[in-house]
Each structure stands twice: as structure tokens, then as C-alpha cells.
Amino acid sequence: MMLEAYLLLAAALFSVGLFGALSQQSVVMVMMGLELMVNAVIVTAAALWLYTSPQSPDGQVLVLVAVTAMAVEMAMGFAVTTALFRARDVDMVDMAADLADRGGPGDHGGHGGGGER
């Protein structure tokens, strides 16, 4: 019964994080949503370890990998935010939508990278 409770907690955290990652415009807030989603993976792996296979440490190794993924996500996310801000003065995801298919706000946000140093 406790396993289901932990997995429901993880599902709720994942959904909240997904909502944030989908709806926020600031790059930093999108990263917060992603962190909540990775956090859900940590809870899931830890709960599955204890309640289904406590004798083999595979679940714990998965928690370790998720913690690393979170650190990498944070470091690379802030590095990309900084690079984007330096190149184009942009800190909103809508203004960095150059690769998007259809015309949108992204077509007006950028004024060419690399011009100003």
C-alpha cells in the first residue's frame, strides 16, 4: 500500500513539473519544472527499490543516476541561458523559437547572434 502512495506522490510531482515546463516562459522557470520531474524519478526509483527488490541495489543506482542528471541539467541549463542571453539579450523561451515551424513571436525576438560582444 505504501508503494502506491509513493508512486502517486511521484506522479503528482511529475505532473506539476510538466505543467511548469509546458506553461512557463522564463527559461529558468522551465528548468524548475524539469527539476521537479527528475525529482519524481528519484522518488519512484527509491520506492520501487524498497518495496519490490530491496536485496539488489539497482534502484539505488538509478537514484544516483537521477541525481546526476539533475545536476547536469541545472549546469547545462544555466550555461545555455547565459549563452543565449549574451548572444541575443533573450531570457524567454518564446523569443528563441527560431527552429519552430510556423511564424510566431520567435521570428521577432532575435536580432542575429554574435553581432555584439
Partner 1 sequence: MTETVVFAVCAVGAVASGAAVFAVDSMARATFALLASFLFTGTAVLLLGLSYLGVLVVLMMVMEMMVMAVFMVMYMMNPAGLMPMSMVHNRNGALAVSAGVFLLLAAGVVLVPWPEAGGAPPADPAFALGEAVMGRHMLVMMLVGMVLFATMVAATVLATSRGRYDRYGDDLRREHPDDPIGGGLGR
CB of 80 to partner 1, least distance (A): 6
Instruction: Name which of 43 and 96 has its Cβ closer to partner 1.
Output: 43
Tell me how crowded residue 38 is: count the other CB atoms within 10 A of its CB.
Answer: 20
Q: Please state, in angstroms and rounded to a whole number, the distance separating the CA atoms of residues 16 and 80.
A: 24
CB of 66 to partner 1, least distance (A): 9
CB of 107 to partner 1, least distance (A): 15
Phi first, then psi: give them for residue 26, nearest 5 degrees.
Answer: -75, 135
Residues near partner 1 (CB under 8 A) are 2-20, 22-29, 32-33, 35-36, 39, 42-43, 46-47, 49-55, 57-58, 60-61, 63-65, 67-68, 70-72, 74-76, 78-83, 85-86, 91-92, 94, 117
Q: Please state, in angstroms and rounded to a whole number, the distance separating the CA atoms of residues 115 and 42.
A: 42
- Tell me which amino acid residue 17 is: G
CB of 67 to partner 1, least distance (A): 6
Q: Please state, in angstroms and rounded to a whole number, the distance separating the CA atoms of residues 117 and 79.
A: 17
